[in-house]
Amino acid sequence: MDNIFFQISILMAMTVTIAFFIRLLRQPLIIAYITAGIIAGPMFFNFLHGDKHTYEVFAQFGVVLLLFIIGLNLNFKHLKSIGRASFVSGIGQVLFTSLIGVLVLLLMDFSFSSAVYLAISITFSSTIIIMKLLSDKKETETVYGRHTIGLMLVQDIIAVIIMIAIGIMKDGNGFADSFLTLVFRGLLALVVIILISKYLLPKFLNKISNSSELLFIFTISWCFSLASFLYYLGFSIEIGAIIAGISLSSSPYQLEIASRIKPLRDFFLVLFFIVLGSEMAMGNLSAIWIPGLVLSLFILIGNPLILYLLFRFLKFTRRNSFMAGLTAAQVSEFGFVVLFTGSQVTKLDENIVPIFTIVAITTIFCSSYLIIYSEKIYKFLLPFFNLFGPDKYRQKELMPSVHDVWVVGHHRIGVKVCHALAKNKANFCVIDYDSSVIRDLKQKKISSVFGDISDVEFLESLPIAGAKMIIMTIPSLEDQISLINHVRKINSKIIILANAYHYDNSRALYAVGADYVMMPHLLGADWISGMLNKKRLTRKYFSELKTEQIENIEDV
C-alpha cells in the first residue's frame, strides 16, 4: 500500500462503491466522499498514513479550484435584480447563525477561537446542493427560488471577505509588514488585475476560444498564476483563486470555462473530502457526537427558523418564507475550507473537523429530503400556520425568464432562421461555439450564449426546460443527439428540429426524439422542382434570383 497510484486506485474504487448506494438514497455525493475518507482513515483501514502530505497537496488543489468556481459564478447582475431582500436575508442569516453558534459552542466549553471558526463554518449553506435540488424540482425561477439563489450569492460574497481576512492572518509576514503596506499591495494588485481583465483578457480569450483545449489550459494557468502572484504579495493562495474566478465572471465564455473546470475540480474535491473524513478517529467519538448532534439540530431547525423570520420581516408570504428557510438547512463544503485554512492560522481544538464532519453528513442527508418534500411538509404544517390567522402578505410568482426558441448554430441555415424569428418578434437565443459569431450577435443585440452543446455540464447550465422549440442547424450528428437526449429528459413536449445531410443520420435523429429533421439537399431539390413546375424560365427570372441570392450571402 506504499504506492500512491495503488492507494488512489483503491480509494476511487471504494468511493464509487459507496457513492452507488448513496445515490440510491437520493443523497448528494459529498456524503459518499466523506464516508470513504472515514473508512480509509485511522478508524478503519488507515490507507493514508504513509502519504498524508501528498493527499493534503491534492486537497489544496481542490480548495483552489472550488474557490475559483465560486468566484467565476458570482453573478452580481442577478443579485442586483432581486434587490435588498437578498442582502438583508443573507447578512441577517450569517450574523444570527454565527452569533448563536458561538454562544452555543462556548457553553459547551470550546475555546473562543475554535468556537468562532466552527460557528462561521456552520453558517454557510451549500450552494451546490441547493442549486442542484432546486433545478431538479424546476423551482429556480419561483419567488422563493430566486431569492434563495440571491441569498446564496450574498453568502458567497461574505465567504470571499472571510477568506481574505483569514488569508491576511494566515501569512505571519502579513502583520510584520504594516497594515498600510499590505493594503497598498492589495490595491496595486487589484488595479493591475482589473486592467488586464478589462483590456487584455477579452482579446486573448477571443483568440483562443475556438479551441476548447487551449481555453481549458489557459484557464488553469490563469487561476494558478494569479493565485501564486497574490501569494507572493503576501496574500493567501485561496484569495488568488477567488479573484481569478471573479476576473472571468463577466466573460461571455464564463459558462464554457466553468463546464471545463468542474470535472477537474470534482476529482480533487473527492480527495479533499476523503482527507477530511480521514481526520475522524475512533477515540474522538465520545467527545464529538453530542456537539455534533446539538449543532445538527441547530442547523436543521434553527437556521430555517432564522430565515423564516427574516423573510417574514421582509413581507414574504408564509409559504415562500418557509420554503426559502428549509432550503438552507445544511452546511456547505465551504465550511471545510474555512476549517482547513483556519487550522493553518491558529491552533484549533482537535475535535473541530470531526464535529463538523458529523454536522455535514447529518444536515446534508436530512436537508436533501426536506427540500425534495418541502411542499408536502408545508401542507402538513399549514393547520399550525392557520392558527395565526390569514396570511396578510401576498406575492406573485414570477414566470421563468427563459427563451421560447433556442437556435443552435448561426452559420448558413441559422442566419435565415434568426431573421425569420426576429421578423416574427419571437423570444429566441442563439447557441454557438464560434467566438466571432457571438461577438457579432452581441453587437446586433441578439441574445446569444457561447458554449459547446456536446458538454453535458454546459447543457445543464442553460434554462432550456421552459422552451417551446429548439432548432439545430449544426452538421454534427453526435452533438445533436447529445442535446436531444438532454432535452427529452427534462421536457418531452419541446419541439425539436434537427439537421442532417445523410439519410442514416436523419433516421438516427428521429430515433432519439427529433420532431422533424431538415435535409438541405432534399429541401433544395423540392424548391428547384417547384420552381421548374410553376415558373416560366427566362434569363430575367434567373437574374432576379441571382440578385436575391447575393443579398442573402452578404447578410451571412
Tell which wins on pLDDT, 550 or 192.
192
Lowest mean pLDDT among 86-95, 223-232, 520-529: 520-529
27 pLDDT exceeds 70? yes
**What residue ranges in 337-468 does DSSP mark as E strands?**
405-408, 428-432, 448-450
C-beta atoms surrounding 135 within 10 Å:
16
CB distance 300 to 367 below 8 Å: yes
Tell which wins on pLDDT, 183 or 64.
64
Distance CA(358)–CA(295), nearest Å, equals 9
Q: What secondary structure, in 3-state letters, does 39-65 show?
A: HHCCCCCCCCCCCHHHHHHHHHHHHHH
Q: Band of the pLDDT at 99, cuts 50, 70, 90?
A: very high
Lowest mean pLDDT among 285-289, 434-438, 480-484: 285-289
pLDDT, mean over the chain: 80
Which cell goes with 331?
452546511
Distance CA(555)–CA(9), nearest Å, equals 55
What is the torsional sign of CA 395, 145, 84, 404? negative
CATH no. for 56-380: 1.20.1530.20
3-class SS at 1?
coil
Lowest mean pLDDT among 84-88, 162-166, 229-233: 162-166
Encoded amino acid at 425, one letter: K
Residue that is written with C-alpha cell 422542382 in the block: 529
523-550 CB burial, b ≥16 within 10 A, e <16:
eeeeeeeeeeeeeeeeeeeeeeeeeeee
Residue 375: per-residue pLDDT: 82
Residue 176: per-residue pLDDT: 46
CB distance 297 to 57 below 8 Å: no
C-beta atoms surrounding 147 within 10 Å:
23
Residue 372: per-residue pLDDT: 80
What mean pLDDT comes out for the span 229-243?
77
Q: Band of the pLDDT at 209, cuts 50, 70, 90?
A: confident
Distance CA(523)–CA(128), nearest Å, equals 46
C-beta atoms surrounding 278 within 10 Å:
28
177-181, 232-236, 315-319: which has the highest mean pLDDT?
315-319
Helix (H) or strand (E) holding 471: strand 469-472
Tally of CA atoms within 13 A in the half-sphere of 210 that contains its CB: 9
Residue 31: per-residue pLDDT: 76
Q: Band of the pLDDT at 472, cuts 50, 70, 90?
A: very high
Lowest mean pLDDT among 157-166, 416-425, 499-508: 157-166
pLDDT tens track for 349-391? 778 888 888 888 888 888 888 888 888 888 888 888 888 877 7
First to last CA, the chain: 62
3-state helix, strand, coil in the chain (%, to 5): 70, 5, 25
C-beta atoms surrounding 173 within 10 Å:
8
Helix (H) or strand (E) holding 469: strand 469-472
Encoded amino acid at 310, one letter: L
CB distance 59 to 340 below 8 Å: yes
163-177, 212-226, 361-375: which has the highest mean pLDDT?
212-226
Residue 400: per-residue pLDDT: 44
208 pLDDT exceeds 80? yes
Which cell goes with 19?
457513492
pTM as predicted:
0.62
Phi and psi torsions of 450, nearest 5°: -90, 130
CA angle 121, 122, 128 (to 5 degrees): 90
Residue ranges, comma separated, of all CATH 3.40.50.720 domains in the chain are 405-518
Residue 78: per-residue pLDDT: 58
556 pLDDT exceeds 60? no
Residue 180: per-residue pLDDT: 66
What mean pLDDT comes out for the span 241-253?
82
Tell me the C-alpha to C-alpha distance, in Å, between residue 100 and each of 114, 299, 364, 496.
14, 11, 20, 53
Which cell goes with 203?
482579446
What mean pLDDT comes out for the span 507-523?
87
Residue 51: per-residue pLDDT: 64
Distance CA(255)–CA(260), nearest Å, equals 9
Contacts for 156-162: CB closer than 8 Å, 24+ residues apart: 156/70, 156/73, 156/74, 156/127, 157/74, 158/90, 158/91, 158/94, 158/124, 159/70, 159/124, 159/334, 160/70, 160/71, 160/74, 160/242, 160/246, 162/120, 162/338
Tell which wins on pLDDT, 533 or 474.
474
Q: Can you name the CATH fold of 405-518?
A: Rossmann fold (3.40.50)
3-class SS at 328?
coil
Residue ranges, comma separated, of all CATH 1.20.1530.20 domains in the chain are 56-380
Which cell goes with 513?
426524439
pLDDT tens track for 11-25? 888 888 888 888 887
